[in-house]
Amino acid sequence: MDWKAQINAAAERIAGHAQVTPVMQSASLWERPVDLKLEHLQHMGSFKARGAFNTLAAVDVPEAGIVAASGGNHGAAVAYAARMLGHRARIFVPEIAGPAKIGLIERTGADLTVVPGEYADAADMARRFEEEQGAMQVHAYDADLTVAGQGTLMREWEAQGLAADTVLIAVGGGGLIAGALAWLQGARKVVAVEPGSCNALAAALDAGAPVDVPVSGVAANALGARRIGQIAYDLAAAQGISCVTVPDGAILEAQKTLWQAHRLLVEPAGACALAALQWGAYVPEPGERVAVLVCGGNVAPDPLG
């Protein structure tokens, strides 16, 4: 796979659809300055819009439209991209997503089914809908077009002058980190950060292959993939990346710091990468310049809901 070419093509497809998100440098979040990419300001509050636009723009969408299963952010992004590109969308959302994310999807006008249980249950129903109705499924993380779309984020960040040696990225199913690894190809160090209670990548790297893990905790509705994607696993294993975990308390503390220091209101998953730095799960070398990807802002409850 020529990932650089795939990501360049994706960047061209999503230009004018996905938001170019701002960057800033903060001296208030950690003992040294930290570069931030404010990707939670993306349409629908997370990076997922990139993969969604890339997928829908790259393929012939059937008359039956799009179907997706999602803990919330992916479903919202697919629903939004479908509306903007003029396709029907049916989204299966696990109850765990919560009313704030469910409301976000409802406002796009997509057909919405709330499924009792967790992500895997919604995914089962989406697969059935795909088979029965002929709708096209957009996978949340383990598909080439999704990964290439998420890879545009790191491409964009580098074009914005990213100077850091090391980038910390939260991991759920692995679409975002796969895109970053696919773009960077070892040019910078990437640190994967997972909640201790949703550690699909750490467990896979330990086991030597993707394995199922239980998922729970404050970031589970965004990072709670039961199994890491094969694409993410292969890239992470090949590049030998660092993978650390953080407890829920550290995630909530990082969430609070982002809000109090900079009025950046993010969901717990969006603060997960910063937590690794603040809590000491990842300790940079002296002089190592670090960057943190802020990936999701769909906090619950909705503060203006």
Cβ 263 to its own copies shortest distance, Å: 3
- Contact by Cβ (8 Å): 55, 145: yes
Is residue 244 exposed (0-12), middle (13-18) or buried (19+ Cβ within 10 Å)?
buried
Distances from the Cα of 103 to the Cαs of 40, 86, 195, in angstroms? 17, 20, 25
Sole binder of its own copies in the list 9, 10, 38, 240 (CB under 8 A): 38
Cβ 256 to its own copies shortest distance, Å: 6
Q: Enumerate residues 6+ apart whose C-beta is below 8 A from 128.
A: none
Position 48 contacts its own copies (CB under 8 A): no
Q: Which is nearer to its own copies, 39 or 142 (CB)?
A: 39
Phi, psi (rounded to 5 degrees) for 42: -60, 155
Q: Which is nearer to its own copies, 185 or 260 (CB)?
A: 260
Q: Which is nearer to its own copies, 25 or 133 (CB)?
A: 25
Position 221 contacts its own copies (CB under 8 A): no
Q: Which is nearer to its own copies, 103 or 217 (CB)?
A: 103
| CA–CA gap between residue 79 and residue 261 (Å, rounded) | 33
- Contact by Cβ (8 Å): 94, 115: yes
Sole binder of its own copies in the list 43, 137, 210, 269 (CB under 8 A): 43
Position 189 contacts its own copies (CB under 8 A): no
Segment lying near its own copies (by CB under 8 A), choices 85-93, 236-244, 257-265, 276-284: 257-265
Position 90 contacts its own copies (CB under 8 A): no
Cβ 37 to its own copies shortest distance, Å: 10
Collapsing DSSP states into helix, strand and coil, what is residue 112?
strand
Segment lying near its own copies (by CB under 8 A), choices 62-70, 128-136, 190-198, 254-262: 254-262
| CA–CA gap between residue 177 and residue 146 (Å, rounded) | 12
Residue 219: closest CA among 302, 295, 111, 109: 295
CA angle 144-223-5, nearest 5°?
20
Cβ 266 to its own copies shortest distance, Å: 8
Collapsing DSSP states into helix, strand and coil, what is residue 11?
helix
| CA–CA gap between residue 293 and residue 270 (Å, rounded) | 8
Cis, bond preceding 301 (omega within 30 deg of 0): yes
Q: Which is nearer to its own copies, 62 or 103 (CB)?
A: 103
Site track 93-132 with its own copies (rule: CB under 8 A), x = hit: --------------x-------------------------
Sole binder of its own copies in the list 13, 40, 188, 227 (CB under 8 A): 40
Dihedral over Cα of 56, 59, 64, 66: its sign: negative
CA angle 88-98-68, nearest 5°?
30
- Contact by Cβ (8 Å): 231, 174: yes
Position 1 contacts its own copies (CB under 8 A): no
Q: Which is nearer to its own copies, 75 or 229 (CB)?
A: 75
Segment lying near its own copies (by CB under 8 A), choices 24-32, 139-147, 176-184, 229-237: 24-32
Position 255 contacts its own copies (CB under 8 A): yes
Query: Given the rule CB under 8 A, which residues bind its own copies?
Result: 16, 19-28, 38, 40-41, 43, 45, 107, 255-256, 259-266, 297-299, 303-304
